[in-house]
Amino acid sequence: MGFVLLRFKTMEDEFARGGKAVAALRTTIAATRTSQPKVWIGLTGMPVIEYDEMQASQADMFWTNFLSLIGVVLLFVAGYGGGRHALLANCVLLVGTAWTFAFATLAIGHLNILSAAFAVILIGLGIDFGIHYVASYLRLRKLGHDCKSALIITAADVGPGIVTGGVTAAAAFFMAGLTEFTGVRELGIISGGGILLCVLATVVVLPPLILLSDEKRPVLDLPEILPAARWFKISLQRPRLVMALGLAVTALIAAGLWHLRYDHNLLNLQARHVESVDIERDIFTSSDESVWFAVSTCNTREELRAKKAKLEALPSVAKTEEIASLLPPSSPAKQRSIAIIHDKLARLRGRESLALTSPDDGTDFDAKDSRPPGLAPLLALLNYADPAPPVPQDIPRELTDRFVGKTGKHLLRVYATGNIWEMDKLARFVADVEGVDPQITGSPVQTFYASRHMQKSYILAGVYSLLAVFGLLLVDFGTIRHSLLAMVPLALGFVQMCGIIGWLGIPFNPANLIALPLILGIGAHDGVPLVHEYRRQRGRFKLSDSTAVAVILTSTTTMASFGSMIL
């Protein structure tokens, strides 16, 4: 297996770095495969994998957003028995999403491969506010209120819960903005701002739309809400029994927490049957070669040779590449010897001319036939010899451009032993080479620290989000008891989620660990409206159909939205 190393010339106006270069190379490879069918050529490497990842992400995001929106509409129709209010709520959701695009442009100015998923997040979470608003409005209309009074009472009844749910969810995302990893930080800022804009669209845009749609419609034309409260009758009649069973089931599921693990391998996140990814896997499984290398810079050739010797002695280093060894070491004494030899060879050229001239008639003999044996090679060598020591400029530019910088610094490539996509091998390689050169860089080193920072950022975002959510609930409810009560669904749901993925053997990874701050905002959506309804009542708590349907729909629409990513 042979390798041809290329360096892309990137353009500032490219959305995906190196996209034009990758497209041009693949066109050339396709033509070569046609003309030379027996020759196999593949294209891989970090820039190519990143480009393919971005292309796949763009295509997947379109279909994910489309399917999640369709799923949300269908669930809304099923929950409220009609399509008109579902369309109104989803129109408001689209308004909030459009505002978020404007916010992202002003606040960040671009999207990355993580923040590009904000639309799916808004579809799953932003619709929740419209669900609660429509549920309360339809309940009041069935109780005999006209359109305007129903809207006013709805604003008073569920408005605080909508604002609290939106602010807590947004706070959970904004906490990600405090982390160091750029991708996570930008996703948190954009998604948090988008949640607040969806809340604003719900309380500002949705009521006028409902008024225009329903003001002249009789109550009989309004859809009937599913009688969902009766489904939870046993929970209200036997609360201690249900709670005990729930805790027992949670404890059994929680045993899966022991099987949780984190997968740093970014290759495992790539789409299947992507050529660049398949080639990268084949390289690691079928050969000892790698297209990944760390980069060390040296001021002098002597420094490079010393560093090269230390690096090649490391067990985690397979080989190194440089061009300094192509230039033999020199010294003043050696240079004086070379100059003497060159001077003597130069004098031979003049003596050859005298030796081959006839003293009788002045006729020159044929030098080719008459020169003494052994003189010809020396004279030929003289034509090419240069007493000055070789310098990098004597090496082909294709090599010096790769290994010698404009300031004269030398580059040393360091290749790892084994598959460094695996974190344990990558960590050992990075630790070893940094022991020789603390300033070493390159794709393996950058990937190691990026993966570690991303994992740390998600965990910190989760901790910050938990503190922010509890603080906001405490401000809203005013008591620790009710604040903790609203977080019960969050706590149980989080433990069960982690336990289930542990039992299923699904690892956390740099893509799905975003669930850590997400689940905090989502869990608060389920608990807050129930506690608000409990505080509005007197005596024994009674669950209304509108609240039951709203809680069910907020969960199922979120499941439909995020579940569409499976495709």
What does the pLDDT look like over 530-543, one tens digit per residue? 888 888 888 788 88
Give me the number of domains the chain comprises: 2
Sorting pLDDT into bands at 50, 70 and 90, what band is 354?
Answer: very low
Residue 503 has a CB neighbour count (10 Å cut-off) of 16
> For residues 523 and 490, is the Cβ–Cβ distance under 8 A?
yes
CB 284 within 8 A of CB 526: no
Residue whose tokens read 């006028």: 208
170 and 74, same domain (yes or no) = yes
Q: What is the DSSP letter of 265?
A: -
- The token duo for 465 is 């989000």
Our measurement of the distance from residue 351's CA atom to the centroid of its chain's CA atoms, rounded to an integer in Å, reads 74
d(CA 522, CA 518): 6
Cα–Cα distance measured from residue 206 to residue 91, given in angstroms and rounded to the nearest whole number: 9
- Please tell me whether residues 251 and 345 are part of one structural domain: no
pLDDT score at 365: 46
Q: Which of 221-230, 266-275, 404-413 has the lowest mean pLDDT?
A: 266-275
DSSP 225: P
248 and 356 fall within a common domain: no
Percent of the chain with pLDDT over 90: 19
Cβ count within 10 A of residue 333: 8
Which pLDDT score, from 0 to 100, does residue 207 have? 93
pLDDT: is 391 or 244 the higher one? Answer: 244
In a domain, residue 279? The reply is no
| DSSP codes joined into one string, 133-193 | HHHHHHHHHHTT--HHHHHHHHHHHHHHHHHHHHHHHHHHHHGGGGSS-HHHHHHHHHHHH
Residue 384 has pLDDT above 80, yes or no: no
* CA-atom Rg of the chain in angstroms: 36
Query: Is 272's pLDDT higher than 50?
Result: yes
**Confidence (pLDDT) at 467:** 87
Least confident interval from 281-285, 402-406, 433-437: 281-285
Q: Count the Cβ atoms, other than its own, within 10 Å of residue 36.
A: 10
Is residue 314 within 8 Å of 460, Cβ to Cβ? no
**Structural domain contains residue 490:** yes
Question: Which pLDDT value is given to residue 350?
Answer: 57
Cβ-Cβ contacts under 8 Å for 427 (sequence gap 6 or more)? 448
User: Are 252 and 338 in the same domain?
Assistant: no
Residue 257 lies in a domain: yes
Quickly count: other Cβ atoms within 10 Å of residue 388's Cβ.
11
d(CA 119, CA 63): 12
pLDDT, tens digit, for every residue of 427-480? 999 999 999 999 999 889 988 988 888 888 778 878 888 888 888 889 888 899
> How many other C-beta atoms are found inside a 10 Å radius of the C-beta of residue 196?
22
Please, which residues have CB within 8 angstroms of residue 401's CB and are 6 or more apart in sequence?
7
CA atoms of 207 and 446, how far apart (whole Å)? 50
Distance, CA of 65 to CA of 119 (rounded, Å)? 7
pLDDT, tens digit, 9 for 90 and up, residues 11-40: 655 555 677 888 888 888 888 888 888 888
pLDDT digits (tens, 9 = 90+) for 107-159: 888 887 777 778 888 888 888 888 889 888 988 888 888 899 999 999 988 88
| pLDDT tens track for 488-539 | 988 898 899 999 999 999 998 887 877 777 777 677 778 888 888 888 888 7
Give yes or no: residues 244 and 360 share one domain. Answer: no
Sign of the CA dihedral 106, 108, 112, 114?
negative
| Residue 367 sits in the same domain as residue 262 | no
124 with 223, same domain: the answer is yes
Please report whether residue 129 resides in a domain: yes
Picking from 234-238, 285-289, 471-475, 557-561, which range would have the lowest pLDDT averaged per residue?
285-289
Residue 414: beta bridge partners? 294, 320
Residues 364 and 478 in one domain: no
**What is the chain's mean pLDDT, rounded?**
81
> Is the domain of 378 the same as that of 264?
no
Same domain for 199 and 119?
Answer: yes
Collect all residues with Cβ–Cβ distance below 8 Å to 16 and sequence separation of at least 6.
50, 51, 54, 55
Dihedral angle over CA of 241, 246, 247, 253, nearest 10: 150
Q: What is the mean pLDDT of residues 181-186?
A: 80
pLDDT at residue 362 greater than cutoff 70: no
Instruction: Determine, yes or no, domain membership for 439.
Output: no
Domain that includes residue 370, residue range: 332-384
Mean pLDDT within 337-361: 61
- Residue 404 within any structural domain of the chain: no
263 shares its domain with 343: no
Reduced DSSP (H G I as helix, E B as strand, rest coil) percent helix, strand, coil of the chain, to 5: 70, 5, 25
Cα dihedral across residues 78, 83, 89, 93: positive or negative: positive
Kindly tell me the sign of the dihedral angle through the C-alpha atoms of 237, 240, 245, 246: positive
Question: Mean pLDDT lowest for which of 37-41, 548-552, 559-563?
Answer: 559-563
**Distance from C-alpha of 153 to C-alpha of 142, rounded to nearest angstrom:** 13
pLDDT of residue 387: 66
Q: Which residues contact 13 (CB under 8 A, 6 or more apart)?
A: none
Across the range 224-251, mean pLDDT stands at 88
pLDDT higher than threshold 70 for residue 348: no
Residue type, 300: T
Residues 122 and 235 occupy one common structural domain: yes
What mean pLDDT do residues 224-234 have? 83
Structural domain includes residue 117 = yes
